[in-house]
A = this chain, B = another copy of it.
């Protein structure tokens, strides 16, 4: 049965048009689906996203949206066997599914968690700290980020039909922006199934997710300054798309993740036969064979000390020789098929270009074993090349054979190795296996500018290392130059691509109202009772008490010193303290001030305050000497719901002396029961 893949447009599923394109299974070679061919109204799609999806998403806060990402992750996770089953048709093995399907779902989990932990329980994200422009703090600045009012168009590559969608969808939805997902047609049947699951779940509001099976028609020509294109694919296609006049004219954001000749360097400190050498070989083998090398982060260039090149070729060839190629549904299979016979032809054509500068030292496309009852048309064995003179070569640094193909090349010293890595003219990731901090630091300073990610591994890190080729949701994924100049993922950084950063300037009162975070100088709200007696829900931002004063005596200081054992000279020795550039003479301990301050504002009885969980940004501003007195201003700065039972209250605390000078300032964290 040939599946008719449909687009999801403004709430309707629209089947393929008259010019639909057939899609073949990578393992049987038979047509299994059809997609595209017209019939999609892109203007309607855009309008629906902007007028229905955007407002619905923006009506929620970051934590609401984060909760939906988690719900989606759980929903898909419960249905992943169905996704696995279908995905075998793309040529992917069970091991490959862990990257595409489990990895995609894991990305939803991480963004959900980051959204709850690192973004506020509200609608305005605060970017960086407060800026002051005058000495009295009457006019201040705060950068914030708010969701764009447009639509995100995600154009994804064929190699990760699920992860490719979810790694963009997670930050987009968390930002509060509706998405239109257009996967590469070749594997779009997997994406379509996942989209159907997501829509069936009812977790997302209408308009948050629309889907294109087939081409994008005139969609990109309709985009404006509030829209975002996030593109993954070849540099040729990316360059063609980003040159569209309306994208340039409207400065439409274009996040691109393109070609990349990723390098892996065997550090000059690593000898063949060592555990680190083995790690190097294992990583190279994994990157050549996972997804049959169809990974934008796969290692294409293996850069080793001249003397160790034969050992690298020998060890890697031995591993490659032991790699079972065949039916991906068979558990013994280590490497499946390329996505199609066309892709195989493309890889072989590029391998031939590399072959003009490098000698093939492992693998033969004309002679290899494929296990199982499958068509051979899309299968290819790993091909390892050796380029003896990488300085004179150019194709090995610029030709990406998007399959199980890599080239080993020698280097003379670390500078040479890094220079070779940089010959890729911008890549997504470079790795270095080294145990030397100096090597790592040089790599960052000299190769960092050309690579979006630098991955270091050695026996100390190997037990938890995530792999050269695995983009983690916490870290940015993207690279300069040839790799497209974009960034995805990277936690909240990835969310900000779908938001506008706004430099907000105004009075402390207005900034407090905008940011839902009390700013010094804003109104101090007087509550009906001591704030420690009031539940989380009752507390207002800016609710403040000012305590009575307590004198600090020399006895207090001496007593604190003997009790705690902190007999630092600035507290104990008048002459030594006075000789210090910071103090007029003996001063009170900083922790004495904190403890006395707590004594001034803490309410002893059981109540809504459950615990003091921490303290941030403490600065001692003025010395406190015997005879000074201390009083405290305590204000509710920010509130963040944390569990079903309690939320975090961030208090702004300022300690003053008897001259009304601030002597210390900090933010105190407590957990407070809701009601």
Contact = CB atoms under 8 A, between A and B. Distances in A.
Interface residues of A, number: 141
Contact of A592 (B137, B425, B579, B595): B595
Given A243-B243, A448-B502, A509-B460, A485 B253 contact: yes
Contact of A600 (B128, B146, B565, B579): B565
B465 A251 contact: no
B243 A239 contact: no
A31 interface: no
Interface string A110-151: 000000000000011000100101101111010110111100
A397 B251 CA distance: 18
Nearest to A500: B449
Contact of A566 (B463, B514, B599): B599
A141 B475 contact: yes
Interface in A213-256: 224-226, 235, 239, 242-243, 245, 248-253, 256
A581 B445 contact: no
A224 B461 contact: no
B564 A596 contact: yes
Contacts of A235: 249
Given A444-B124, A616-B616, A620-B613, A576 B144 contact: no
A634 interface: no
A512 B493 CA distance: 23
A483 B226 CA distance: 12
A659 to B, nearest CB: 20
Nearest to A505: B455
Contact of A606 (B141, B576, B602): B576
Nearest to A235: B249
Interface string A423-458: 001100000001001101100110011111111111
A505 to B, nearest CB: 5
A482 B514 contact: no
A481 interface: yes
Select the residue from A235, A245, A490, A514 with max chain B CB neighbours within 10 A: A514
A225 B481 contact: yes
A149 B572 CA distance: 53
A528 to B, nearest CB: 21
A134 B445 contact: no
Interface string A140-167: 0101101111000000000000000000
Contact of A445 (B146, B485, B491): B146
Contacts of A487: 501
Interface stretch (A65-73, A375-383, A384-392, A583-591): A583-591
Contacts of A610: 580-582
Contact of A567 (B136, B242, B475, B604): B604
B475 A503 contact: yes
Contacts of A645: 581
A605 to B, nearest CB: 6
Contacts of A501: 452, 476, 487
A538 interface: no
Contacts of A452: 500-503
B513 A438 contact: yes
B565 A485 contact: no
A144 to B, nearest CB: 6
Contacts of A500: 448-452, 480
A612 interface: yes
A645 B581 CA distance: 10
A2 interface: no
A466 interface: yes
Contacts of A671: 582
Contacts of A583: 611
Given A225-B480, A434-B510, A461-B506, A611 B582 contact: yes
Nearest to A225: B481
A368 interface: no
B248 A242 contact: yes
Contacts of A603: 568
Interface string A460-473: 11111110000010
A605 B448 contact: no
Given A455-B505, A482-B225, A502-B451, A251 B243 contact: no
A475 B565 contact: no
Contacts of A480: 148, 225-226, 251, 500
Given A139-B464, A564-B596, A456 B604 contact: no
A503 B428 CA distance: 10
Contact of A569 (B455, B567, B592, B604): B604
A146 B605 contact: no
A642 to B, nearest CB: 11
B595 A589 contact: yes
B456 A504 contact: yes
Contact of A615 (B224, B514, B581, B615): B615
Contact of A226 (B249, B481, B589): B481
B595 A591 contact: yes
Nearest to A485: B251
Contact of A138 (B441, B445, B464, B483): B464
Nearest to A437: B513
A579 B598 CA distance: 22
Which 3 pairs, one residue from A and one from B, show the smallest C-beta to C-beta distance? Answer: A225-B481, A437-B513, A565-B599
13 contacts: A134-B463, A138-B464, A149-B449, A250-B425, A444-B504, A454-B502, A455-B505, A458-B510, A461-B507, A559-B563, A566-B602, A569-B605, A614-B619
Given A149-B450, A434-B510, 15 more contacts: A133-B466, A139-B461, A139-B466, A146-B444, A239-B249, A251-B485, A441-B514, A451-B502, A452-B500, A455-B505, A455-B506, A456-B504, A487-B501, A565-B599, A567-B604
